[in-house]
Amino acid sequence: MKKYVPLIAVLIALTACTDTAQTDNAETTIKVKVTEATEASEDEPVMVSEGSIDAIPADIRTQPEEIGWEAETQNVQTEVVPQCAPSTGFSFELPAGWSYTSAQTEDEPTSSISAYLSPDNEAEGTITIEYSKNFAVCGTGLVQKPIDFNGYSATQCYYDGSEKWSFIMLDGEYTDCVIINNAPWYDDYANDIEKILSSVKFRHYE
């Protein structure tokens, strides 16, 4: 009768895809062969089983360039703070490929503060997030729709039968806060805009 010694070799061949377009949930197959040797021939292992298992690429150490690529695609958390409290400011997440500028009044306390958001490759138009004591509305041709905006009570406003909203006004505690749509490229970036808007938070500063 042949006597087998304990398991002496596990050969693992790993084929890993480095395509950075691969999602975190994609699976990489790791091929495994388990071999065993007899007392009579330790230098010639005999294969006793083979198969495969699945591994998540996130569990496999990645190259530095892959890590950098992932970091560049993450949203950037941005906070716009009033210069002179007590006043109101806000925060939002800006996706890769977008920029913003901000402006605020020099009075005490700050009565108006705005952030103008746009894709880097668009020269005209913005999505504006604003706190302003002086925001005024023209009522001609205006249609108003009550909505929930990230937990805030708000009113979404449309002009002249347009299917696209013109601005969103918050109600109640944040009644002077507004988001203005002045973006002719809205349709081309609708997904980005929705993600930005879903991240907007207003805050009182004392």
Instruction: Report DSSP state, residue 19.
Output: -
Rounded CA gap, 99 and 101, in Å? 7
Check whether residue 108 and residue 25 sit in a common domain: no
pLDDT(13) > 70: no
Q: Which of 72-81, 128-137, 139-148, 187-196 has the lowest mean pLDDT?
A: 72-81
Q: What residues make up the domain containing 61?
A: 9-70
Check whether residue 83 and residue 66 sit in a common domain: no
What is the predicted pLDDT for the residue at 138? Answer: 85
Check whether residue 32 and residue 122 sit in a common domain: no
Of 102, 92, 94, 91, which is closest to residue 120 (Cα–Cα)?
94
Q: How many CA atoms lie within 13 A of 72 on its CB side?
A: 8
Domain boundary among 70, 103, 119: 70
pLDDT(16) > 90: no
What would the two tokens of residue 123 be? 């020269």
Check whether residue 156 and residue 93 sit in a common domain: yes
**Is residue 1 one of the residues assigned to a domain?**
no
pLDDT(37) > 60: no
Rounded CA gap, 170 and 148, in Å? 9
**Is residue 167 one of the residues assigned to a domain?**
yes
N-to-C CA span, the chain: 86
Q: What is the mean pLDDT of residues 58-79?
A: 52
Q: Which of 45-59, 77-91, 111-125, 160-174 has the lowest mean pLDDT?
A: 45-59
**SS3 at position 102:** strand
Check whether residue 171 and residue 200 sit in a common domain: yes
Check whether residue 145 and residue 128 sit in a common domain: yes
pLDDT(181) > 70: yes
79 within 8 A of 89, measured Cβ to Cβ: yes
**Is residue 140 one of the residues assigned to a domain?**
yes
pLDDT(124) > 90: yes
172 within 8 A of 153, measured Cβ to Cβ: yes
Domain boundary among 36, 70, 104: 70
Check whether residue 28 and residue 87 sit in a common domain: no
CA 153-157-163 angle, 5° bins: 125
State which H helix or E strand residue 197 sits in. Answer: helix 190-198
Check whether residue 174 and residue 86 sit in a common domain: yes
179 within 8 A of 129, measured Cβ to Cβ: yes
Number of separate domains in the chain: 2
Domain boundary among 53, 70, 87: 70
**Is residue 2 one of the residues assigned to a domain?**
no
What is the predicted pLDDT for the residue at 137? Answer: 85
Q: What is the mean pLDDT of residues 37-44?
A: 47
